Amino acid sequence: MNRIDKRFNEIKAEGRKALIPYICSGDPSVEMTEKLVYALEEAGADIIELGIPFSDPLADGPVIQAAGLRAFKGGYRIDDTFRIIGNVRKKSHIPLCIMVYYSSILGYGRERFLENCIRADIDGLIIPDLPYEEYDEFKPLVDKTSIYMIPLVGLTSGDRIPTLVKDAKGFVYCVSSMGVTGERKEFDSRVEGFVKEVKKNTDTPACIGFGISCKADVDKFDEFADGCIIGSAIIRKIAETDCDIEKVKAFVSGLR
């Protein structure tokens, strides 16, 4: 069983919702990224997303863009993410997903990328710039492995939702807002109905991300989603505290 499925089975049995933090590989360093993974798990994370920095990100807001630039400045390379996960797997079985742009996969080599995902024991892939209509370029390769390709569904997906989630595995990434990632004071009024529509069309857990930054947001979305994905707020805390592990851990624990 994929670790993501196992974790959601545990979450359901415990009667709670998933907490899924996102951090950027290589920010502030490769070594600290590994330490942050352990800290997030200790803070109550159920699944952790590791972002692979990209020079021209489609979905990333300014906070995550800045994290990627810091990683590149420190000499980050894609192989560093595989090394981080390989090290983590010696100590932890927490489900791990990589968020990566398809352009990066093409530049790295599709088969080589997937082979290293298998070798590092990754559980899921989130590819924001690979639309459903172009899944045939890569998904058949992924489906031959135990790795899940996590679908992203947006507020404007509308009639396409049944198609987008029909073969969903792991969880569905429900994008709460139009535009890029980043903390928000207000959310679109359609979010609840949108998530409920996703859940009507699949038994796969529906988790919501983009803009969630505090416990109040988590509490609100936990009423109708199966989990919350938080990225920019955590990355901002990492930057503001000069990656003080205990302060980052306390922030993430507070979200739980």
Alpha-carbon Rg for the chain, nearest whole angstrom, is 17
Tokens (6 digits) for 16 = 């709670």
The CA-based diameter of the chain, rounded to the nearest angstrom, is 45
Half-sphere exposure of 240 (CA within 13 A, CB side): 10
Beta strands in the chain (DSSP E): 18-24, 48-51, 96-99, 124-126, 148-149, 152-154, 172-175, 206-209, 227-230
Of 34, 41, 60, 123, which is the active-site residue? 60
Of 49, 80, 217, 226, which is the active-site residue? 49
Residue 241 DSSP one-character state: T
255: three-class secondary structure by DSSP: helix
Asked whether 124 and 146 are in contact (CB, 8 A), the reply is no
Nearest to 157 by CA among 145, 144, 166: 166
Nearest to 146 by CA among 127, 119, 172, 166: 119
Q: Distance between CA 7 and CA 241 in Å, rounded?
A: 30
Active site residue 223: no
Beta strands in 165-218 (DSSP E): 172-175, 206-209
Active site residue 60: yes
Catalytic residue numbers read: 49, 60
